[in-house]
């Protein structure tokens, strides 16, 4: 097969050394916990969701085990290039540039061109990126998810009933963009501060959700229809965060505190949970996969509420796939646990898409 790998690549030159950045962004008084941490981060998080050259090359190499692969960057020329190239199928990892429909744009023009592609369709990608839309659908099907309100302006704060304690996050970002250690709010003043930050920094509405106080998990699913497979549940050990940090998997936790020279081993895979909880987590994740019409693969974040009931936080139908095990990327980690290596994982996703289209290898 001729496979086109369509991607967005991170510009590697935007790293800056800092703790000052944390002081700028962490509006609460917990910054002392960060002080001993020497970290590098991207000052401008605009392209945080995009893939590194290393990931793109690793995906290409994996697909080349059985196919001819052409790389196409998802920029303004991509439509013309794909129209001319006419690959048999696209392996889509493009996150898109801007707006709530950014992940849907490449699949939308592939549908326009009649070119098959891996993963979910534009409708599902758009709905899952706008976390409120995904949660509305989950709620309709009685799949547990935290109560929430969407706030589009500071004036709206006068008329909403916030579910304190709450988490405030941008409505349609990923990779913990805009979810900071300070994003848990307990008072109207803190709520105002965090909503203001989201509105100003991301120029998009804020999602204000009831804080789910229990353990956190992330769950990788592969396949379609009856053969959807749930990979071993990963626990994100929030108890391993630095002392004083709020119990959320924040931007700081994801990108700053866990560094190769002082790693925080935050993951248990498989999670140390009893069979009943494991079964319940798997059940709600499969239901979410079905009702949101996810295809081929997806990673979902789950958190227990105060009663121990798992709730869906969000779905990632374009999951992160860092190839280096030291980077603790959860989808490849869960796959490795059941003997599926990185290359096999990517070829499995491709095969799922080929099977949907009735295309042999």
Ligand X SMILES: Nc1ncnc2c1ncn2[C@@H]1O[C@H](COP(=O)(O)OP(=O)(O)OP(=O)(O)O)[C@@H](O)[C@H]1O
The closest alpha carbon to 233, from 164, 299, 139, 186, belongs to: 299
Q: Which residue has the tokens 């002082």?
A: 262
Binding ligand X by CB under 6 A: which of 167, 168, 228, 288? Answer: 167
As measured in angstroms, the least distance from the Cβ of 40 to ligand X is: 18
Interface with Mg ion, residue 173, by CB under 5 A: no
Q: Is 194 in the site for Mg ion (CB under 5 A)?
A: no
Q: Are 294 and 312 in contact (CB under 8 A)?
A: no
Residue 66 or 147 having the CB closest to ligand X = 147
Residue among 204 and 314 whose Cβ is closer to ligand X:
314
- Compute φ and ψ for 93, nearest 5 degrees: -125, 15
Minimum Å distance from CB 138 to Mg ion? 15
Q: Phi and psi at residue 163, in whole multiples of 5°?
A: -85, 75
Q: Applying CB under 5 A, which part among 1-9, 98-106, 188-196, 299-307 lies near Mg ion?
A: 299-307
Q: Is residue 45 a contact residue for ligand X (CB under 6 A)?
A: no
The alpha carbon dihedral of 73, 76, 80, 86 has a sign of positive
CB of 286 to ligand X, least distance (A): 19
Q: Binding to ligand X by residue 194, rule CB under 6 A?
A: no
Q: Is residue 249 a contact residue for ligand X (CB under 6 A)?
A: yes
Q: Considering only residues 196-235, where is the footprint of ligand X by CB under 6 A?
A: 209-212, 216
Q: Are 95 and 318 in contact (CB under 8 A)?
A: yes
125 phi/psi in degrees, rounded to 5? -65, -40
Question: Which distant-in-sequence residues (6+ apart) come within 8 Å of 112 by Cβ?
Answer: none
Would you count residue 204 as binding Mg ion (CB under 5 A)?
no
Contact with Mg ion (CB under 5 A) among 49, 235, 301, 351? 301
Residue 130 vs 301, nearer CB to Mg ion? 301
Ramachandran class of 281: left when φ > 0, alpha when ψ lies in -120 to 50, beta otherwise: alpha
Compute the least distance from the CB of residue 332 to Mg ion, in Å: 16
DSSP assignment, residue 232?
Answer: P
Closest Cα partner for 266 from 277, 278, 250? 250
Residue ranges in contact with ligand X by CB under 6 A = 146, 167, 169, 173-177, 179, 209-212, 216, 248-249, 301, 303, 313-314, 316
Residue ranges in contact with Mg ion by CB under 5 A = 301
């Amino acid at each position: 097969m001729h496979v086109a790998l369509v991607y967005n690549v991170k510009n590697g030159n935007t790293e800056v050394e800092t703790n000052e950045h944390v002081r700028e962004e962490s509006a609460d008084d917990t910054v002392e916990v960060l002080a001993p941490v020497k970290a590098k981060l991207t000052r401008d998080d605009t392209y945080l969701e995009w893939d590194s050259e290393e990931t793109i090359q690793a995906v290409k190499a994996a697909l080349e085990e059985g196919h001819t692969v052409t790389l196409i960057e998802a920029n303004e020329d991509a439509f013309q290039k794909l129209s001319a190239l006419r690959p048999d199928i696209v392996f889509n990892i493009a996150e898109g540039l801007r707006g709530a429909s950014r992940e849907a744009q490449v699949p939308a023009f592939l549908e326009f061109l009649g070119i098959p592609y891996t993963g979910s369709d534009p409708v599902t990608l758009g709905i899952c990126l706008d976390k409120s839309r995904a949660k509305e659908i989950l709620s309709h099907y009685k799949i547990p998810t935290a109560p929430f309100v969407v706030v589009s302006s500071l004036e709206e704060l006068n008329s909403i009933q916030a579910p304190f304690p709450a988490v405030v996050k941008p409505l349609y970002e990923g990779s913990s963009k805009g979810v900071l250690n300070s994003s848990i709010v307990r008072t109207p003043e803190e709520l105002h501060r965090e909503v203001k930050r989201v509105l100003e920094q991301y120029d998009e509405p804020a999602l204000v959700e009831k804080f789910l106080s229990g353990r956190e998990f992330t769950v990788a699913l592969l396949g379609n229809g009856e053969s959807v497979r749930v990979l071993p549940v990963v626990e994100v050990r929030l108890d391993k965060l630095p002392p004083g940090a709020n119990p959320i998997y924040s931007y700081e936790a994801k990108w700053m505190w866990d560094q190769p020279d002082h790693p925080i081993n935050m993951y248990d895979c498989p999670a140390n949970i009893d069979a009943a909880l494991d079964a319940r987590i798997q059940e709600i994740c499969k239901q979410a996969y079905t009702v949101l019409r996810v295809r081929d693969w997806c990673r979902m974040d789950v958190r227990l509420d105060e009663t121990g009931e798992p709730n869906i936080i969000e779905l990632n139908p374009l999951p992160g796939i860092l190839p280096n095990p030291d980077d603790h990327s959860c989808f490849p980690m869960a796959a490795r646990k059941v003997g599926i290596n990185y290359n096999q994982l990517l070829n499995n996703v491709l095969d799922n898409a080929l099977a949907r289209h009735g295309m042999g290898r």
